[in-house]
């Protein structure tokens, strides 16, 4: 438990700074777990400091193309959502508010948008079952698809940015392979891989 786990190492566009996630042990009389936070420092190994704080984990930092912002995933709202903060520090703002949690995300080349993968939200029947603590699951049955969404990388005062869904249909994004998608250099298109379903054998149909 005393060994910290380092992940998601990201070098800034100018090559002078590095951001990474560190999972550190939290051991008290009531809990024993890892809490992940983001750290930033210089690439020469000096000046490291904790970038995110709180009782919920933050991870997966990504620099904006101009190096002025850091986007990251945090559970501070209850689910894994995208948050944004100035790279030099300051209060973070929430960019997404989703029920199922955000998976992989990537900045657009011009830094104006962020594309991300999200699992389809539960329907009314599933939400009712969850409220009733009916947590039985059928393996390879009624699994949710994951699709591609996009959100502006800026937030107006007191207002959540409007998310837009890019893909739909009876397929799911294949995020285990290099994130499953990427932007074209001009930011006009996104290429992605997908499978026809979420069953254990669907990977052969990518």
The answer to whether residue 46 scores a pLDDT higher than 70 is yes
The rounded distance, in Å, linking the Cα atoms of 196 and 206 is 7
The rounded distance, in Å, linking the Cα atoms of 134 and 126 is 9
Q: Count of H helices and E strands in the chain?
A: 1, 16
The answer to whether residues 167 and 192 touch, using CB atoms and an 8 Å cutoff, is: yes
The rounded distance, in Å, linking the Cα atoms of 144 and 163 is 19
Whole-number pLDDT of residue 7: 92
The answer to whether residues 165 and 117 touch, using CB atoms and an 8 Å cutoff, is: no
Helix (H, G, I), strand (E, B) or coil at 180: coil
Whole-number pLDDT of residue 163: 93
In this structure, the dihedral spanned by the alpha carbons of residues 175, 163, 160 and 154, taken in order and rounded to 10 degrees, is 80
Q: 133: which 2 tokens?
A: 């603590």
pLDDT digits (tens, 9 = 90+) for 152-200: 998 777 788 999 999 988 888 876 655 689 999 999 999 998 887 666 5
Cβ-in-10-Å burial (0-12, 13-18, 19+) of 168 comes to exposed
Question: pLDDT category, 13, cuts 50, 70, 90?
Answer: very high
The answer to whether residue 203 scores a pLDDT higher than 60 is no
Question: pLDDT category, 44, cuts 50, 70, 90?
Answer: very high
pLDDT digits (tens, 9 = 90+) for 48-91: 999 999 889 999 999 999 999 999 999 988 899 999 999 998 88
E strand map for the chain: 5-11, 17-27, 32-42, 49-50, 58-63, 69-74, 81-86, 93-94, 102-107, 113-119, 146-152, 164-165, 172-173, 181-183, 190-192, 194-195
Q: Global pTM? A: 0.84
pLDDT higher at 126 or 189: 189
pLDDT digits (tens, 9 = 90+) for 90-108: 889 999 998 888 989 999 9
The rounded distance, in Å, linking the Cα atoms of 80 and 116 is 12
The answer to whether residue 134 scores a pLDDT higher than 90 is no
Cβ-in-10-Å burial (0-12, 13-18, 19+) of 82 comes to buried
């Amino acid at each position: 438990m005393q060994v910290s786990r380092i992940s998601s190492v990201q070098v800034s566009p100018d090559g002078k700074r590095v951001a990474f996630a560190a999972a550190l042990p939290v051991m008290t009389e009531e809990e024993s777990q890892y809490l992940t936070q983001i750290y930033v420092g210089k690439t020469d190994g000096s000046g490291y400091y904790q970038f995110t704080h709180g009782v919920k984990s933050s991870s997966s930092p990504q620099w904006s193309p101009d190096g002025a912002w850091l986007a990251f995933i945090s559970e501070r709202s209850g689910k894994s959502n995208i948050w944004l903060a100035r790279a030099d520090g300051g209060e973070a703002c929430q960019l997404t508010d989703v029920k199922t949690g955000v998976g992989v995300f990537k900045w657009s080349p011009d830094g104006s948008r962020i594309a991300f993968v999200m699992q389809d939200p539960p329907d009314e029947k599933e939400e009712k079952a969850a409220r009733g603590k009916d947590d039985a699951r059928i393996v390879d049955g009624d699994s949710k698809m994951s699709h591609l969404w996009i959100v502006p990388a800026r937030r107006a005062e007191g207002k959540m940015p409007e998310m837009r869904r890019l893909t739909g249909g009876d397929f799911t994004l294949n995020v285990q392979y290099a994130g499953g998608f990427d932007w074209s250099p001009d930011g006009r298109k996104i290429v992605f891989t997908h499978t026809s379903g979420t069953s254990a054998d669907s990977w052969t149909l990518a």
